[in-house]
């Protein structure tokens, strides 16, 4: 099993993601410079957080049009897992791998703090180790994270259970106060229709060890690993 973390100029959570995968989860994980492309098959590709291309034009817009993204799209079309975290989520939305867009926060400042998320579906390779309705604590760190999508897309996302995470309070209630960036329907994690691509603004790699006050995010990576093991026919 092998993961790839793609680094663009301005990525800054690439090594955190690799550290969690290799040192905490114990899987092989390559850091890949975006110009080098995917030179071997990977089970999962991670687009890490950061500020690719300095967030010029729109966060993620320019990275989404780089040649390596064609390879990431091809990987996803073959059923490979793709996880976009923060800037990675913005890149996935800009590249059309998930619907909608993550745009400037309703109150336009950078927010960096721990938030509560409600797991909306365990039915995905990224959330299978959670239970529906679990309240987890994972930090966010963004200025352009407000999820926006047209009404018809939102209703389709609801119908097909493509919403992975919503902002919520400690008790799991979705309240206006618990929505830090003004995201539509509190959405902060979106799956594609095939459920093998997840774009999420919160940083699970920053919440994967107890010493960091929360290891609630680790199950995102462990769910992926479990999914890949099952797909490979490895048991236990």
Partner 1 sequence: MYLAKITIGLKEGMLDPEATAIRHALGNLGYETDELRTKKLFLVRFDATDAREAEEKARGMCERLLANPVIHHFEIEVHR
| 94 classed as catalytic | no
Count of residues near partner 1 by CB under 8 A? 19
Count of C-beta atoms within a 10 Å radius of residue 100: 18
183 binds partner 1, rule: CB under 8 A: no
Instruction: Restricting to residues 137-166, name those near partner 1 by CB under 8 A.
Output: 146, 148-150
Main-chain phi, psi angles of 45, to 5 degrees: -120, 130
Task: Kindly report the length of the chain.
Answer: 236
Beta pairing, strands 2-7 & 44-47: parallel
In this structure, the strands spanning 28-33 and 163-168 are unpaired
Q: Which of 71, 168, 205, 227 is catalytic?
A: 205
Kindly state the smallest distance separating residue 79's Cβ from partner 1, in Å: 26
Catalytic-role residue among 142, 186, 203, 227: 203
Rounded to whole angstroms, the Cα distance separating 76 from 120 reads 22
Among 77, 107, 110, 212, binds partner 1 (CB under 8 A): 107
Work out whether strand 2-7 and strand 28-33 pair parallel, antiparallel, or are unpaired. Answer: parallel
Q: Is 75 a catalytic residue?
A: no
Residue from the set 25, 31, 101, 222 that interacts with partner 1 by CB under 8 A:
101
Q: How far apart are CA 62 and CA 58, in angstroms?
A: 8
Q: Is 56 in the site for partner 1 (CB under 8 A)?
A: no
| Active-site annotation, residues | 86, 203, 205
Which residues would be at the binding site for partner 1 (CB under 8 A)? 57-58, 61-62, 65, 94, 100-101, 103-108, 146, 148-150, 182
């Amino acid at each position: 099993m092998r993961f790839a973390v793609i680094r663009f100029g301005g990525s800054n959570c690439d090594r955190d993601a690799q550290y969690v995968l290799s040192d905490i989860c114990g899987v092989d994980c390559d850091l890949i410079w975006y110009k080098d492309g995917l030179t071997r098959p990977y089970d999962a590709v991670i687009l890490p957080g950061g500020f690719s291309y300095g967030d010029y034009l729109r966060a993620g817009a320019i990275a989404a049009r780089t040649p390596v993204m064609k390879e990431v799209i091809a990987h996803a079309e073959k059923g490979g897992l793709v996880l976009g975290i923060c800037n990675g989520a913005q890149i996935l939305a800009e590249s059309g791998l998930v619907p909608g867009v993550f745009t400037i926060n309703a109150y336009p400042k950078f927010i960096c703090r721990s938030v509560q998320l409600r797991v909306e579906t365990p039915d995905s390779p990224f959330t299978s180790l959670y239970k529906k309705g679990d309240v987890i604590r994972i930090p966010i760190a963004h200025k352009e994270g407000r999820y926006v999508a047209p009404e018809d897309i939102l209703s389709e996302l609801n119908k097909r259970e493509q919403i992975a995470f919503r902002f919520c309070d400690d008790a799991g209630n979705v309240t206006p106060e618990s929505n830090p960036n003004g995201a539509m329907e509190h959405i902060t994690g979106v799956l594609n229709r095939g459920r093998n691509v997840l774009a999420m603004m919160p940083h699970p790699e920053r919440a994967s060890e107890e010493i960091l006050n929360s290891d609630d995010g680790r199950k995102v990576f462990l769910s992926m690993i479990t999914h890949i093991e099952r797909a490979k026919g490895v048991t236990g």
